[in-house]
Amino acid sequence: MKTVTLSTLRACKQAGDPFSCLTAYDATFARVASEAGIEVLLVGDSLGMVLQGHPSTLPVTLDEIRYHTRCVARSKGTSLLMADLPFMSNATTERLLTDAGELMRAGAEIIKVEGEAWMAEGIRELTRRGVPVCAHLGLTPQTVYQLGGYKVQGRDAQQAQRILEDARTLVEAGASMVLLECVPASLGREVSEALEVPVIGIGAGPDTDGQILVMHDVLGISQGRTPRFVKDFMAEADTIAAAFRRYHEDVKARRFPAQEHCF
């Protein structure tokens, strides 16, 4: 398998060939996921919940993301490596640039940042300096307390239109990808069709260009309430490697997400 790049993902979008993404936090799971065919690995601030036991992603620090990025980078194989900028890394453009630089030096190949249209200036400055950006819209976990919980976004027409307009604004500013979380499937399709860049969905329906899940959810070992968009692929597999392969194959064949995983 050839090394996955942003050009690879753009070609997938143009061909209508969905791609798979999965979180990874260490060298061993990164290797297994890459060997299973997963195109994009994300060192997500979700590690605050699934590794550290916090109730949200907010306590995660840049040093922690950087550490796990270095671990994953050593064994990512041909997968593209994306890393999350943690809470408040977008407080100022100066901090945004500094923190993104640290993660790129740690081995990240694209940086994911949460925020709406107001992030355009920061994304513009990052792309000017050669840092690829994935803009995270919809349910943004770093604003969970402001949102009043992990709730589906874009249900009403006005909110859906704002998410679409924000996506267009951030792509115009230079974002190379967009990640949509917890939005109606119809909005996932509309945003994907409206943008030239690849759109990754998590709880955003079957029509986005790529799909992403948290590794622990794929393996059926997450604690607490299981989100609607999650599927336990370990229930249909004998090994972790087989579960990852099944997830990848179901994304490629558009068997996942199915109707029961959508809003």
Q: Give the active site residues.
A: 181
Both tokens of 261, joined, read 């995983």
Cβ pair 142, 98 in contact under 8 A: no
Q: How many residues does the chain have?
A: 263
Phi and psi angles of residue 82, each rounded to the nearest 5 degrees, phi first? -110, 145
Smallest CA-to-CA distance from 160 within 134, 179, 137 is with: 137
The residue type of 142 is: Q
**Beta carbons within 8 Å of 34's beta carbon, 6+ residues apart:** 41, 75, 76, 77, 78, 79
Phi and psi angles of residue 90, each rounded to the nearest 5 degrees, phi first? -100, 20
Q: Cα 96 to the chain's mean position, in Å?
A: 18
Question: Which neighbouring-strand residues pair with 138?
Answer: 181
